[in-house]
Amino acid sequence: MATGMQAAVLYGKEDVRIEDVERPLPRAGEIVVRVNAALTCGTDLKTYRRGYHAKMLNMPALFGHELAGVVAAVGEGVSAFRPGTRVVALNSAPCDRCYWCQHGQQNLCEDLLFNNGAYAEWIRVPARIVEKNTLEIPPHVTDEHAALTEPLACVLRGLEESRAQRGDTMAVIGAGPIGLLMIHAAALAGVQVIAVVKHDQQVSAARRLGAQHVVQMIKVKDAIAAVRALTPDRRGVDIAIEAVALPLTWQWAVDMVRRGGLVNFFGGPAKGTRVDLDTNHLHYNDIELKASFHHTPAVCRRALALIANPKFEADAFITGHAPLRDLVSVFQAMMRRTNEIKTVILP
């Protein structure tokens, strides 16, 4: 008895339509979740603007990947969840069999199974994600806060991979949703954060989320010098996180870090983007360069636990609510860079 539902379907570059599609029914091992909150995300905006995503989806496709809701139906053989349970269904799950999975890099699984379709009334969750990456939401955590699990998991993994320790100084370049999550997670871990931001409203957001210093790039002549001036003897920060995804800010990150420091290129640039780096400077200053992509099931659990911690200011990341039918105008507004951090789409 399949009936219809409203869902966002992405057809290509800047072409997303709210359509009546078939409502999913769970097959063996699957669950269907009634979406209560789906969050807008920089990755979705990039996919919308570029008209593709190398790893996540093929057009035309159901769209959106940060969600929380309630289990509406379970397929044959599902015992871990029952209708009525509130869950976060993550947007991927690894195979746990390939070379990368066996080497502790499930985020790079060669058969990473992605699921999209959060901007819809219901979403089908594939069996592998039900089994490995669907988490029950603690009673005191709201759906819209729980939906932050996915981006926060990417951030926590980036932080862990950067080996940030309490007392370290860290520059975070960029104060979009991911940059702000990084600032907050790092500050909560006792890291002294210097936020490098662009817009006025990002200054107050970065401060509220725990940045010790904020450098507004358009108000200083030289952002690199401004960051260095905030460190002892201008030596530079221990760790620099790039969360803008532009070649210029990749270079900044390298130039802000101290001798022997670590740079994490956390923003995901467009295909074919290249960057000039001073190899002599990198070598003779013993600078560690790394990049972090995506998350693992273990870090997703740590992310939801952090959201459940009263110290985590989930509300600061939610700056608006909109019904599903307004999704296109929400994306248009994001392209104009308004004050929004994340908008909750209510299907």
Nearer to Zn ion, 101 or 256 (CB): 101
In angstroms, the CA 329 to CA 320 distance is 13
Nearer to Zn ion, 116 or 216 (CB): 116
In angstroms, the CA 126 to CA 129 distance is 5
Helix (H) or strand (E) holding 182: helix 177-188
Within 147-206, the residues that bind Zn ion by CB under 5 A are 151
In angstroms, the CA 97 to CA 250 distance is 34
Q: Which stretch binds Zn ion (CB under 5 A): 105-113, 168-176, 198-206, 294-302?
A: 105-113
Nearer to Zn ion, 183 or 217 (CB): 183
Is residue 95 within the footprint of Zn ion (CB under 5 A)? Answer: yes
CB of 96 to Zn ion, least distance (A): 6
Say how many residues touch Zn ion, by CB under 5 A: 9
In angstroms, the CA 253 to CA 255 distance is 5
Nearer to Zn ion, 45 or 230 (CB): 45
Identify the residue among 36, 40, 43, 192 touching Zn ion (CB under 5 A): 43
CB of 45 to Zn ion, least distance (A): 10
Can you give the C-alpha Rg of the chain in angstroms?
20
In angstroms, the CA 76 to CA 95 distance is 21
What DSSP character marks residue 279?
A: H
Is residue 47 within the footprint of Zn ion (CB under 5 A)? Answer: no
The SS3 assignment for 153 reads: helix
Q: Which stretch binds Zn ion (CB under 5 A): 6-14, 94-102, 281-289, 312-320?
A: 94-102
Give 283's contacts (C-beta < 8 A, 6+ positions apart): none
Identify the residue among 41, 73, 173, 187 touching Zn ion (CB under 5 A): 41
Is residue 109 within the footprint of Zn ion (CB under 5 A)? Answer: yes
Identify the residue among 21, 61, 98, 316 touching Zn ion (CB under 5 A): 98
Is residue 101 within the footprint of Zn ion (CB under 5 A)? Answer: yes
CB of 294 to Zn ion, least distance (A): 10
Nearer to Zn ion, 49 or 235 (CB): 49
CB of 293 to Zn ion, least distance (A): 12
Instruction: Output the CA torsion 309→70→22→300 (10° steps).
Output: 30
Place of tokens 């221990």: 238
Q: Calculate the alpha carbon distances from 343 to 95, 160, 184, 346 in Å.
A: 32, 27, 18, 9
Nearer to Zn ion, 36 or 149 (CB): 149
Nearer to Zn ion, 87 or 262 (CB): 87
Tokens of 250: 């990749």
Q: Cis peptide leading into 60, omega within 30 of 0? A: yes
Place of tokens 């956390």: 266
Contact 243, 270 (CB under 8 A): no
Within 283-302, the residues that bind Zn ion by CB under 5 A are none
User: Per-residue string for binding with Zn ion, 48-87, x by CB under 5 A?
Assistant: ------------------x---------------------
Strands 342-346 and 113-114: what pairing? Answer: unpaired
Nearer to Zn ion, 207 or 302 (CB): 302
Binding site for Zn ion (CB under 5 A): 41, 43, 66, 94-95, 98, 101, 109, 151
